[in-house]
Structure 1
Amino acid sequence: MPLILRDRRVLITVAVLVSLAVAAAVLPRPSIFQVREWAESMGPAFVLIFFVAQAVLTITPVPRTVFTLSAGLLFGPVSGIAVTISATTVSAVLALLLVRALGRRAVQARLSHPAVKAIDARLARRGWLAVGSLRLIAPAPFALVNYCCALSSVRLVPYTAATVVGILPGTVGVVLLGDALTGDTNPVLMIVTTICVALGVAGLLLETRLPG
């Protein structure tokens, strides 16, 4: 590629980024409360769209925390928790079925993440109990755990049940945190958030201390 053409592309990219930054600083932005009102005005259709988007996109390595936090901000604690728990569970089940349908050998050859061996070892040692522990507040990415579970012999029903139990403390905590961003949250919910996070950490530590 000629040097002049390359420099021109760099300048165009910088100009676009600067323009976006200036627009973000100058243009009026809706408050968090206004965003909540807008989501409520959209009705059940928006909740369904959000559910489908989270269930489908988090099959890939898209961080689900973004959806969890947004659910609390957009829908409040009760609806936010219900939508996120159900969408996360559906995503986990779909990922398991998809990987097994594609063929374990074909997928396993493409998994080169350094955490894969550690997750595989835990799954081989504890099965569905490992699924629950890995769903707690753990460094293992959600999608990566799904793929490794699909490559293991974990059965669908125990996998699904362990997923629901494992994601519950962390999901409730993050949804309530998202709801707190609106500034109109009962202080009791913040206590519940702290308890849920503490339960997640305690459950993970307990599982790691169990004999092999």
Structure 2
Amino acid sequence: MRWWRQILGALGLVLLVALVYLLARAHGLTSMPHVQDLRRIVTGAGIWGPVVFVALQVLLNIPPFPRTVFTVSAGLLFGSIPGTLLTLAATGLAAVIAFWIVRLTGGKLVARYARHPRAVWVRRRLDHHGILAVTSLRLIPMVPFAAMNYLSGLSAVRFWPYLIGTLLGSAPSTIAIVALGDAVTGHVPPALLAVSATCAAVGLVGVVVAARRPVPDEEPVRAEEPAA
């Protein structure tokens, strides 16, 4: 899957650059705009700026394309608070679509990738721990976003715990990275960083709890009592 990720990454960057260039030309700029120019361009596009951004992120986040490119861009183009809301909305939509694609196709498209021991470990927790497992696993950077979507579709986790856990678990990293993108302009609300740090600390506890809670296949087998 690595070569697919490279192709999708290059495609995403090309589309973002092309979008910025077309917007710049529409506003009469002959060279690549500066950060403040970018924000003025996006604001001038009205509702179409956020709509195109969310649609593009959803389109590329259903396959295994890293969210980081869009998360940083959201802070750069829209600022911390609007960028966070837009990124979380796109994250939720992409997660929902990927989840139902797997459920409706019976998991045939991704089942062969779910036999890896790490994938099995993730699925067991999704099967038995619900919203706690989804939230805590979303907070682990080593669990790719798209892979988590696919494994959730293969697992027995219910839809609403999956969606709520996805938004809760994705929020801390999203807030921090969007704020990083916004930092380029020098406008970073300290409250956002404080919220991100607090959520990350709480999420770390959730990760430990989810990892230590046994699932049925891992529970020790009790010895049978001797017959009277």
Interval of TM-score (by shorter of Structure 1 and Structure 2): 0.7 to 0.9
1:159 maps to which residue?
162
Measure the CA separation in 2 of the matches of 1:137 and 1:182. 29
Gap runs ≥5 in structure 2: 1-30, 216-228
2:34 maps to which residue?
31
1:174 maps to which residue?
177
Residue 99 of structure 1 aligns with an amino acid whose one-letter code is V
CA apart distance, 1:142: 0.4
The answer to whether residue 191 in structure 2 is matched with residue 185 in structure 1 is no
Mean Cα deviation higher: 90-99 or 128-137: 128-137
Number of matched pairs:
186
**Aligned partner (choices 102, 107, 110) of residue 107 of structure 1:** 110
**Aligned partner (choices 122, 125, 128) of residue 125 of structure 2:** 122
Write the mapping of 1:41-190 to structure 2, written as runs, cut at 5 A: 41-111=44-114, 115-190=118-193
Measure the CA separation in 1 of the matches of 2:144 and 2:88. 17
CA apart distance, 1:147: 0.3
Does the aligned pair in 2 maintain the 1:137–1:170 contact within 8 Å?
no
How big is each residue's C-alpha offset from its partner over 1:21-78, in whole Å with a ceiling of 9 and x where there is no partner? xxxxxxx653333322322222220110001111121010001121111111110112
Pick closer, same or farther for the CA change 1:113–1:64 going to 2, 3 Å: farther
CA apart distance, 1:190: 3.8
2:208 maps to which residue?
205
Mean Cα deviation higher: 175-184 or 75-84: 175-184
Measure the CA separation in 1 of the matches of 2:59 and 2:116. 22
CA apart distance, 1:111: 4.5
Pick closer, same or farther for the CA change 1:152–1:35 going to 2, 3 Å: same
- List 4+ stretches of structure 1 deviating above 6 A: none
State TM-score, norm by structure 1: 0.76
The percent identity for this pair of structures is: 41
Residue 90 of structure 1 aligns with an amino acid whose one-letter code is L
Measure the CA separation in 2 of the matches of 1:59 and 1:209. 30
Pick closer, same or farther for the CA change 1:106–1:143 going to 2, 3 Å: closer
Pick closer, same or farther for the CA change 1:191–1:164 going to 2, 3 Å: closer
Measure the CA separation in 2 of the matches of 1:101 and 1:209. 32
Measure the CA separation in 1 of the matches of 2:39 and 2:201. 28
SS in 1 for 2:110: helix
SS in 2 for 1:103: coil
Measure the CA separation in 2 of the matches of 1:130 and 1:186. 30
Measure the CA separation in 2 of the matches of 1:31 and 1:113. 45
Measure the CA separation in 2 of the matches of 1:71 and 1:175. 6
State TM-score, norm by structure 2: 0.71
